[in-house]
Structure formats: C-alpha cells, structure tokens
Structure 1
C-alpha cells in the first residue's frame, strides 16, 4: 500500500508544481492570460499587500492557515515514519531452552511456511509475510487456489498443518495468521 501512497503523493505534488510553475512562467514571459488567472503581469505576486491585510482581518483566516499547515505537517511525519519502518520481520526469537533464545531469519520461516502451504492440494502458489515483533510474529498468507480447490478445506489445512507446524518448530506460543485466498485464472474446459 505504501507504494501506491508514494505514487499518488508524488503525482499530486508533481501536478501541482507543473501547474503553478506553468502559470508563473506564462505570466513572467508576458503571455496573454485570461482575466481570472492568478498572475497577469511580470510584477505580480500571489497575494498583494491589500489582499493579505483583508484576509488577516477576518476571524477564520489564521485558524484555517494553522489547520492546513498542521495537516500538512502530520501527513509529512506519517510519510517519513512509513518510509523508515520495515514492513517485514527480519528475525524471529526462538526459545532454545537455555533461557537466552536464538534468532531465526524471518525469510527462512516465510519460505518454509509458503512451501508447506504450496504442498496442499488445490494451492498453486503461496506467499507469506511475517510482521509484528520478534517475540510475537504474525503471518500474512496469500494463497492462489486452483479451480477445484475447496476454500474451507484449504483454510483448515493451512491453519492446522502449515501454520501449526511453523509455530511448533519455532517454539512460539501463538502464531496468528491472516489468510487471503484468490482464484487462479484458467481457461474454460471444452466439452465435446
């Protein structure tokens, strides 16, 4: 999702910069512009001194300015935090029995869990992403099902076999999993 948010934000920012830059360039070059255009001459500014004075005298002006700037600041902070935060879990803390524990690579557990899920009847492809904390991971499982697959049966077997085996082998008390299923596109069968 973050990829889509990045693309939309960059697209909107780019569009705004192109429109404002084009308007300023047109006015600066002395191109004839419509009367409603923000700038109509080389010496114009966005808000004249008279406009600024009239807006400052109104009671709604400063609250709106602060609210918009605050919203922009919150969005910028959210975006920076989302860029820095890792989406996937790099390692899982496994109870080794000696009181200290061992670290298991998250990608290794993801690969084993995906392999177990792909081995089930009716599952063409599986993809797993671990999130959460090292001591309390959560699994996001995406399954692509064949046409003959029974979704309820596949869900039961994934939770009872693949996820349970991964949980037990890693020595975790619980391994919550969110399973998403999709149907694989296939051609219609011909009947003769």
Structure 2
C-alpha cells in the first residue's frame, strides 16, 4: 500500500511540473500573450515564438561560472540514479499473482490459484472473530514455499493468544490444504487498540441551604 501511495505522489508531482512547463512553452510558441493582450513580467520565460528556450545571455552568464558544469552533471546524475532506483523498485515485486496447486494422479494438468482470492478468503476467515476490527493478509515470495504476512487490529480488550490459535487452526490450515503444502510460514502482526479514556464527570456545586429564622 505504501508503494502505491508513493507512486501516485511521485507521478502526480512529475505530471504537475511537466504540465506547467508545457503550458509555458505552448503559450510562448503560439504567441498567446500577444493575441490575448496579456503582458507577462520581464523575467517570464518563453513569451514569443522567436524567443529561444534559453537565451544567449543566460547561457553565457551561467556557463562562465566555475560551479555550473559540476552542478549540472551532479544534478543529472542524482536524477538518473533516482529514476533507476524507482524503476528497479517497480520491477521487484514481493507479492504473488498466482500459486501453482499440485494435481496428484492427473498428468498434464496445471492448476493455479489467484493469490488475491486466497488472501481475501484468509482475511474473511480471520475477521470472523467479533474482536477483529481489521485484517490484512498477503502472500509473498520465499525461497522454498510462499510466506504469509498478516496485520490484524483488535478491538480494546482483544485476546491475541485466542486470535493466533484461531488463525493457526482456521485460515492458515485451510490455505495449506488448498495449496497442497505441508507448511505455510506466517508472520502475523497483532495490534490491540487502547480503550478511550472515560470523560471525567463534572460535579455540580452544592447549593447551600438557607436556614429559616423563627422570630
């Protein structure tokens, strides 16, 4: 889930930057400022079709500086390294799309089960307990057999030991039988929510009783 959020943020930021640069270039290339009667600031880039992207004055000003080329080369190197890291992170998937199921006694038959369907079934089986507020199960790659990674959130006062016993005898055992595996290692993270503190009761001030005087 975190990878999806990071990808959306990065793609959104890159898209906004590219969209802004493209709008500026198109506005200057189609001479929209003159046609619309808009006077952009003097420092505004690309105001006319005849204006280059980088003026000769700007090129000469920065190129003559000693820090220009090291900064440009270093910045491009960091950008390329970041893009390469992001690409490798996308190609490296820890999750499984499907799992092969053995078919003993039937030759030439290959049967595969969708990993997401199995994960949803295990999540539903785990969330049967009334004290389970939320459950998330994922099948990840492992050297020998697939591995389970789960995160379960219990309501205040929940029993983690009871949840583990239910998970071992229920969803995990059913998954092992469905996949035909002798064992299915699992990493289960359990979080018990804390009860909300009770609001202090405000005591009403006592009213003093007036004593009646007998004259």
Q: What residue is the counterpart of 1:187 in the other structure?
A: none
Q: Which residue of 1 is the match for residue 209 of structure 2?
A: none
Superposed CA deviations along residues 65-98 of structure 1, whole A, max 9, x for unmatched, are: 122222222232233333334342233799x9xx
Structure-1-length-normalised TM-score: 0.65
Write the distance in 1 (CA, Å) between the matches of 2:19 and 2:83.
21
Rg comparison, structure with higher value: 2
- Pick from 164, 187, 201: which aligns with 1:177? 187
Structure 2: give runs of 5+ residues left out of the alignment.
105-110, 194-215
- 1:128: Cα distance to partner? 0.9
Whether the 8 Å contact between 2:153 and 2:192 is mirrored in structure 1 is yes
Deviation at 1:177, TM superposition (A): 0.7
Q: Which TM-score applies when normalising by structure 2?
A: 0.60
Partner of 1:114: 123
Aligned residues: 175
Residue of structure 2 in register with 1:21 after alignment: 22
In 2, Cα distance between equivalents of 1:166 and 1:9: 40
The offset of 1:129, in angstroms, is 0.4
User: Does the 8 Å contact 1:91/1:134 carry over to 2?
Assistant: no
How far 1:137 sits from its partner (Å)?
3.4
Gaps (5+ residues) in structure 1? 97-102, 184-192
Greater relative CO, 1 or 2 (CA 8 Å, sep 6+): 1
* Aligned-pair CA distance for 1:34: 1.0
Q: Offset of 1:157 from its aligned partner?
A: 3.5
What RMSD in Å do the two structures reach over aligned CA positions? 3.7
* Structure 1 position 125, deviation (Å): 4.8
Give the structure 2 partner of residue 190 of structure 1.
none
